[in-house]
Amino acid sequence: MEELILRALSAGLLVAVITGPMGCFVIWQRMAYFGDTLAHSALLGIALSLLLAIDTNLTVLVGGICIALLLAWTESSSRIPLDTVLGMVAHVALAGGVILMGLTQQGQIDWLAYLFGDLLAVSWREVIQTALLGGVVLTTVVVCWRKFVALAVDRDLAQAEGLAVRRYQTLLLVLMAITATTAMQIVGVLLVTALLIIPAAAARQLANTPSQMAVYASIIGCLGVLAGVAASYFADIATGPAIVVASFAIYLLASLKRS
């Protein structure tokens, strides 16, 4: 197999493994907007890194974590509804990113690569970064699983039972930021939310317990990546969109099986 494909598959599968459980939390806590906001803001990070000539992946990651912390703080103290805050942050960051990109001297920016991802262009270095970050996210989710689920079921009940609700919610948002910014490099800004919610939604059709849903979501995400990369290789279509469409096909099959 070509090394190009091997790299793409490794990165894609690693991302799919973590977007599985994280996508479940997106669905359970109704956070679909949150992934969008992080992804849109990443464009600001990309523009900043180009302007200041610093590492893009690192800038995007740190920027995402900052936004997660900001949102965790806003969620508990703001008078403005959360979806409004998320919408504002997303689009102001997007607008700021576009303005900054205009200011950079590099006239030719590959917009499509940022918007839809370029899995076939990942380097081994990025694969290793993804593995490390994915390892951190997955380990934390497994260790804190019961607490995260208790939080998603009922926040008041969890807090009354002595769970440090704000701390764990903030931790979950930071993990979400790491996941979304990592996934963004694979499927692009516009398709991050799809990679989070479609496999999880498909898993919902088949699972009987929360942990089953998380594992199924990871597996379905991996199947989507395999199918998408294969389609991209053999039929020469864009990889990110191919992964999303393949995942959606699995979702449809799962829905059929349920009904």
Partner 1 sequence: MTDKLLELENVSITLSGRQIVRDVSFHVAAGQIVTLIGPNGAGKTTLVRAVLGLCAVSSGAIHSRRGLRVGYMPQRLHINRHMPLPVLQFLRLSGASREQVLTALAETGIERLHAAAMQNVSGGELQRILLARALLRNPQLLVLDEPVQGVDLSGQTELYDLITKVRNQHGCGVLMVSHDLQLVMATTDTVVCLNHHVCCHGHPDHVSNDPAFIELFGEQFARKLAVYHHDHDHEHDVHGDVVPGSDSGSHS
C-alpha–C-alpha distance, residues 83 and 60, integer Å: 22
CA distance to 130, 143, 178, 243, per residue, from 208 (Å): 30, 21, 28, 26
Q: State which amino acid sits at residue 109.
A: I
Residue whose CB is less far from partner 1, 55 or 161: 161
196 closest CA partner among 129, 137, 255, 113: 137
Q: Between 35 and 241, whose beta carbon lies closer to partner 1?
A: 35
The first and second tokens of residue 166, run together, are: 């704000």
The residue (of 148 and 233) whose beta carbon lies closer to partner 1 is: 148
- Which one, 76 or 123, has the nearer CB to partner 1? 76
Q: How many CB atoms lie within 10 A of CB 227?
A: 17
Least distance between partner 1 and beta carbon 216 (Å):
10
Of 149 and 230, which has the nearer Cβ to partner 1? 149
Q: Which residue has the tokens 């009987």?
A: 208
Q: Which residues bind partner 1 (CB under 8 A)?
A: 27-30, 146, 149-150, 152-154, 156-161, 201, 204, 207-210, 212-213
Cα dist. 125→12, 54, 232 in Å?
Answer: 14, 16, 22
Supply the minimum distance, in Å, between the C-beta of residue 203 and partner 1.
9
Least separation in angstroms between CB 119 and partner 1: 28
CB of 228 to partner 1, least distance (A): 24
Least distance (Å) between residue 144 CB and partner 1: 12
